[in-house]
Amino acid sequence: MKKFDRFFEGYETKAYNLFGAHKEGEGVRFTVYAPHAHKICLISSFDGWYNEHYLEKIDDRGVWSLLIEHLQPVHAYRYRIYRDEFTWHERIDPYAYCFERRPSTASCMYDLDYYTFSDQKYMDNRPRSHDDKPVNIYEVHFNSFRKDGQFSSFRQLKEELIPYLEKEHFNFVEFMPVFEHPFDGSWGYQATGFYGVTSRYGTPYDFMDLINELHLHGIGVILDVVYAHFVGDEFGLIDYDFSPLYEYPEPHLKSSEWGSYYFNLYSPTVISFLMSSASFYLDRYHVDGLRFDAVSHFIYHKGDSTQGENKEGQAFIKRLNFTMHQLYPEAMMIAEDSSDFPKVTGGVEYGALGFDYKWDLGWMNDTLRYYSMDHEYRKYHHNLINFSMFYFYSERFLLPFSHDEVVHGKRTIVDKMFGRYEEKFSLCRNLFVYMFTHPGKKLNFLGNEIAQIREFDEQKENDWFLLQYPIHDAFNRLFCDLSELYTTTEAFYRYEYDSEHFRWIDADNAAQSIFSYMRWDEKYCYVVVLNMMPIYYDQYEIGVPYRGTYTEILNSEDFKYNGCGVTNPGSIKSVRGVKHGHKNILRFTLAPFAGIIFRKKVGKIAE
């Protein structure tokens, strides 16, 4: 049948309309792809799981279908797939929109058409590029923001998450994987259902309603998606029709380091399956962007450059990104990539992989290594901080402090900081001044904003009780102020990827471990100074390009942030003198571990 041709060619983006369980007239039609099956039957809860309803092969290439009359799409079901007359196993519907809550494993019929979004104004106003827009992302695990019983709920998140995001000045939320998955501890990264929203937290309508409400409040939604591999539980995709239909047939290619199975990206039908999954969430759920997990595994075999480039993986990513940008030009495609492979971001037509943004994991690793280092050794590792701007403009980078950095014994962000308890907070305040003033979009995992001490645990909610303690409450105040500054100040977001709008003042002061740099736009110049040492300076000097008055708009050591209180109130006038290549000098008080932001109203950069 011609309607399946694009699916078999690897170019189908709406395979969820061809396969799955769909209302048809007064009944439901079931369609599944299983080319090696001897026969297939449907078993379902609508008749007590007792009867076998046999599907008919409607396409010689392996498409089976069955219409059951007078049936409402409200029941659980499985496919019983026969290898021969006597041997069978039961599998989920790969295109199911919903599943039973674990530990049950059946697919569920669900009609998505009953829900009507009311976010058209938001959708119509989405920009085609966010390069000159603020992107401040809050990464959330569904079960860890708030809990009421065993699981959180999409409805609860709608009531509690949205006002919190507004208060903290986040304009995007990134949800860790929403695909149905059997094991809570995988956090969704080992999935079975690539079209089914996990039933742990509610129904597909509940999730649609959460996204709709976020959009009504001007907050975008990014989904963390996992298209490199799938979990090997026997009720899922593995050995689906007694053949490696979704996984590689070669033993040395199929198994991943996580005990899961790589998708066979040689297969056109697998490519159509995955591209349609991406399209499904952008189309039916109005999602604003996708963050791709484990992109290095698409670039290199098993993510290891020594095993050679994964050419079919790269080709798949290029096809997917190019196609999604054609269909949904407003959607962001984001790569979590730990490799140094060039041209991950940029247009496919220019030889790149086609992503809009790439997580800067090099920046993250170097930065956290530096801040966790004994003060005395920092002067020998000064380049861990200044190196990021050497390569920053080679890609469209996003700066992440994600869930990966606060699990498995790595300690939380504040706990990574070197020093005694209060020193950790001083350094962590300094760190976030650095993060929010460094070029690049921002991402923070829940708990970072309150300086959570305990590592992430998917079974527990965030430690909100910490805000009862002044040191945590004051830290959150600083985070909110920085978050607002970034999202409302054009100099910090409009020219993030324009090298003409960032300039080091002093990148090389290793002896004192102090960094200073500038960000600016047509109206204002912002000067940032970071003191990485527990040393006080009564009259610290830097060269500045403008003569006149500078105002300290933020100091991480302000009393209101639980700092030592050494700040620079009022205005400071520059004086004539040559320093750092400029003809004006700014003198100010610099407290231990202080992160300071000065503002000067200007025209263009000139002495």
Residues of the chain with pLDDT > 90: what percent? Answer: 90
* pLDDT at residue 150, as a whole number: 66
Closest by CA position to 561, among listed 429, 369, 395, 381: 429
* pLDDT at residue 238, as a whole number: 96
pLDDT at 607 over 70: no
pLDDT at 320 over 90: yes
* CA distance linking residue 533 with residue 510, whole number of Å: 11
Counting every residue, how long is the chain?
607
* CA distance linking residue 523 with residue 217, whole number of Å: 29
Mean pLDDT of the chain: 95
* CA distance linking residue 225 with residue 191, whole number of Å: 10
Helix, strand, coil distribution of the chain in percent, nearest 5:
35, 25, 40
pLDDT tens-digit readout, 79-116: 999 999 999 999 999 999 999 999 999 999 999 999 99
Q: Which two tokens stand for residue 276?
A: 């349609």
Residues of the chain with pLDDT > 70: what percent? Answer: 98
* CA distance linking residue 194 with residue 192, whole number of Å: 6
Q: Taking residues 570-594, report their average pLDDT.
A: 95
Q: Taking residues 223-241, report their average pLDDT.
A: 95
pLDDT at 45 over 90: yes
pLDDT tens-digit readout, 148-192: 666 778 998 899 999 999 999 999 999 999 999 887 777 878 999
Q: Which two tokens stand for residue 311?
A: 């050419």
C-alpha angle with apex 544: 539 to 547, nearest 5 degrees? Answer: 100
* CA distance linking residue 285 with residue 391, whole number of Å: 36
Q: Which residues pair with 509 in a beta bridge?
A: 514
Catalogue all structural domains in the chain, each as residue range(s) with its CATH number: 500-601 (2.60.40.1180)
pLDDT tens-digit readout, 331-351: 999 999 999 999 999 999 999
pLDDT at 605 over 80: no
* pLDDT at residue 471, as a whole number: 97
* CA distance linking residue 200 with residue 571, whole number of Å: 55
Known catalytic residues are 293, 336
* CA distance linking residue 330 with residue 347, whole number of Å: 14
* pLDDT at residue 149, as a whole number: 60
* CA distance linking residue 561 with residue 559, whole number of Å: 5
DSSP state, 177? -
pLDDT tens-digit readout, 487-525: 999 999 999 999 999 999 999 999 999 999 999 999 999
141-155, 283-297, 573-587: which has the minimum mean pLDDT? 141-155
Q: Which residues pair with 543 in a beta bridge?
A: 585
* pLDDT at residue 604, as a whole number: 54
* pLDDT at residue 145, as a whole number: 86
* pLDDT at residue 459, as a whole number: 84
pTM of the model: 0.95
